[in-house]
Structure 1
């Protein structure tokens, strides 16, 4: 019985660590991106003191992929969604919403752990994600990677 209790306690601690609330603005802005294409991308940040995920940056519909990658800090974790336009082999114009878990190698271990443990819960709040990427450096989320994942 002692071992079972120990494991249950550890599980509760793990859940507490990943218990980041999601600011309503995150869901609202995501719905605007999905339904109205109001934004090209959204960058989300975990505010540790408030224990919640918040919107950090909104990309204009005219913003380029370079604008998006420049919005991700080189040494801090973030979540992001990107509205990726592409042309299929049948020459059809399409779009897919890509979720990116940005976790650069140079970010702090604690930050990587918090983002990793909160990712699934946060992703569930954003209904309509079609592709997910985990990236530790820009090459892991390049346009060629996105194209290969959307086919």
Structure 2
């Protein structure tokens, strides 16, 4: 038996919405009975306006991440590469603050592969502190 919990159909639908660019960001959590990964919050494109940058999305995400609870997030991250071309990547954030309970951190770590698989080809960022979600750091991961 594999460890961790699987992605709910509702969360899979949210991932599809993000991939179709209907959403700019989505937060996911493991439900209260620890049986599946569910959608916690979504941010439609309209919440940010047409000129929203990857930095705007990260700023909004940092405000929503709980201080003592792990979460997963997917972002439609826009940035400019070294050749000054506009680019977009889907970024997966595994948020696991140091202040989280060890048991929760272990469950989120064990379940991470399920949501990454559901999300498909994504750039991965692991963060334990909001400072690790710096625009330049995330952009550098997208350029690799």
Q: Give the TM-score normalised by the residue count of structure 1.
A: 0.82
Alignment-derived partner of residue 41 in structure 2: 57
Structure possessing the higher relative contact order (Cα contacts under 8 Å, 6 or more residues apart): 2
Is residue 2:33 matched to residue 1:40? no
**2:109 aligned to which of 107, 116, 133:** 116
Distance 1:48 1:125 in 2: 21
Structure 1 unaligned segments of length 5 or more: list them.
1-11
Q: What does residue 103 of structure 1 align with? A: 96
- Whether the 8 Å CA contact 2:27–2:40 is kept in 1: the answer is yes
User: What are the ranges of 5 or more consecutive residues in structure 2 without an aligned counterpart?
Assistant: 49-55
Greater C-alpha Rg: 1
- TM-score, reference length from structure 2: 0.86
Match of 1:9 in 2: none
Confirm or deny: 8 A CA contact 2:6 2:111 kept in the other structure: no
State the match for 1:69 in structure 2. Answer: 62
**Counterparts of 2:112 and 2:60, CA distance in 1:** 23
Structure 1 segments, 4+ long, off by >3 Å, are none
Conservation of the 8 A alpha-carbon contact between 2:6 and 2:114: no
Q: What is the CA–CA distance in structure 1 between the aligned matches of 2:115 and 2:44, rounded to whole Å? A: 23
Secondary structure of the corresponding residue to residue 23 of structure 2: coil
CA shift digits 1:34-65 (9 cap, x unpaired): 12x11111000001415000000001324333
For residues 3-18 of structure 1, the aligned pairs below 5 Å read: 12=1, 15=2, 17-18=3-4
